[in-house]
Structures are given as C-alpha cells and as structure tokens.
Amino acid sequence: MKGIILAGGTATRLFPLTTTTSKQLLPVYDRQMIFYPLNVLIKAGVKDILIIVAPEHSGQFLNLLGSIFENYGIRIEFKVQKVPRGLADAFIVGENFIDDDNVTMTLGDNIFEDDFSEQIKNFKSGGLIFAKKVPDPERSGVVKFDDNMKAIEIQEKPKKWLSDYAIPGLYVYDNRVVAAAKEVRPSERGEIEITSLHNWYLKKQELEVAMVNGVWLDAGTFDSLLEASNIVKEKKIYKNFDSIIDKAIKEFSAEFKELAKKRLV
C-alpha cells in the first residue's frame, strides 16, 4: 500500500493566512495540519508516502518533513503540482510512485476522529470510500444508498438533493485507478473529478462504501479551522497520534531549538 496526501492548491478562502504558507502547514491545535493525514497513513502501516504540493510552498514542506521520519523507516516523497486539475489528477501525478501497488489518498485538510487502520490494512482490490451523514452534503461528493445501504449513485456537489451522505477526503483504490483517472474528462468546473473514479468502480460493482462514525473536519475556512482546533482539544484527538509521529515531532522540535540557540550566540 502506498499513500498520497494532496496538499497543493492556493486555499483562497483562507487568505491572507495562505498568502505566505500552505493551508496544510497552518496549526490545528498543537501541530501543523499536515500531520493529521500523515497519521491516517502511518497508523495503517503505510511507509511510502507521496505529498503533492504547490510550487510556492514546496520548500516549506521539505524543511518540515524532508527528514523528520528518516529514523522510522517512513519514506516521504514530494511532487510539485503547478496547476491543480482536480482531485483525480493526483493519481496521474503519482503514477510512477504508485507503480503496481494499491494506494490510499487523503486530502491534506481533512481531519478524522476515527481510526481507519484496519480497513486500509485489509484492503485487497477495487475501491473503498467513506460516507458521513451531514447537514450540508451538497458541499462535497454525495452518495445515495438503497434500502440495504448499498451505494447506487454518486454525484459531485449535486444541485438537487440526492442524500444526506457526503464523501470525506479519504479514498483507497487498487492500481487500476491510474488508468481510470486518465480516462476522466474534465467536468463543467474544468476539473478531473474524483467522483468519476468512484463511479468507475461502482459500475463494475467493485466499490465499497464504509461509514465514518466519529468527527470529520474539513479545515478549509476561518471558522472550520478554528472549530477544528477546538474539537481536537475538547475530544482529545491530539492524543490519538501514532507514537512515531509524536516522537518525530519531539525530536524535530528539540533539534530546531538547539539550532535556534546557536544562531543567537
């Protein structure tokens, strides 16, 4: 299993915060946002991770994550995406990285309370996505179920009500997803929609949809960013990190403080 984190884009909804740094490098309570999607992958045993970043922030990601996990057997690669073309484009950008393996992709601004480790570890083939009942599903991809809670239809940000179940930014696919992504035609928004990939597997009856039971946060606005920090603190989600991440951050912080002291001498 390979892992991809999509952390590019301009995040204009968070201007001026994101005029100088990436949204995924903004803090959520006691650490940068990027560590939350990293936790999803690392807890699931994923050791090869590709982070797709915007060119203007690539150096900042490299400074933070370039060597932070090198003592823990976790390999992080970076790929610069000059122009965002939609979520499905991540699989095309990461084609050589994915190679013949399965892949889990998570969005860099999605924060989950649930632990998906077993579902990712046990994945064999096809596609696996998730659904969460929310009051405003039209902001995301939406999945409709039949009476047996089997997925029967998926649409991206439907203009008419389809169901109350939104699709969070966590997707698991076999390596056929690269070829499927290359077949996707841009939508009216001019993007290669990831819902097209969901439907590619759904038509083949190879798509599983699992439920998200805990909190799902999309920290893409001022209010949701503040809410994310508050909920992470209140529900103690910050205590759910893999020990590798906690140790790596502690070591990185200690090293950085020592370097800062030397610069002051």
**166 has which bridge partners?**
132, 142
pTM equals: 0.95
Tokens at residue 238, please? 């910050």
- What are the pLDDT digits (tens) for 192-246? 999 999 999 999 999 999 999 999 998 889 999 999 999 999 999 999 999 999 9
Q: Within the chain, what is the greatest distance between any pair of CA atoms?
A: 69
Given a contact cutoff of 8 angstroms between Cβ atoms, the answer to whether 34 and 133 are in contact is: no
| Cβ neighbours around 84 below 10 Å, total | 16
The whole-number average pLDDT for the span 123-130 is: 98
Given a contact cutoff of 8 angstroms between Cβ atoms, the answer to whether 45 and 37 are in contact is: no
**31 has which bridge partners?**
28
Note the pLDDT of residue 265.
59
- What are the pLDDT digits (tens) for 149-193? 999 999 999 999 999 999 999 999 999 999 999 999 998 888 999
**CA-wise closest residue to 39 among 92, 91, 116, 124:** 116
Note the pLDDT of residue 6.
97
Tokens at residue 190, please? 């001019």
Note the pLDDT of residue 16.
93
Residue with tokens 């290669």: 192
Pure H helices in the chain: 35-43, 58-65, 89-93, 95-98, 117-121, 177-183, 194-203, 222-234, 243-264
User: Rounded to an integer, what distance in angstroms lies between the CA atom of residue 20 and that of residue 123?
Assistant: 38
b/e string for 165-198 if b means 16 or more Cβ within 10 A? bbbbbbbbbbbbbbebbeebeeeeeebbbbbbbb
**CA-wise closest residue to 40 among 105, 124, 87, 132:** 105
**Is 264's pLDDT higher than 90?**
no
The whole-number average pLDDT for the span 50-74 is: 95
Residue ranges and CATH numbers for the domains of the chain are 2-264 (3.90.550.10)
Mean pLDDT of all residues in the chain?
95
Note the pLDDT of residue 12.
86
Helix or strand or coil: residue 48? strand
**CA-wise closest residue to 78 among 103, 88, 90, 255:** 90
**CA-wise closest residue to 126 among 195, 210, 200:** 200
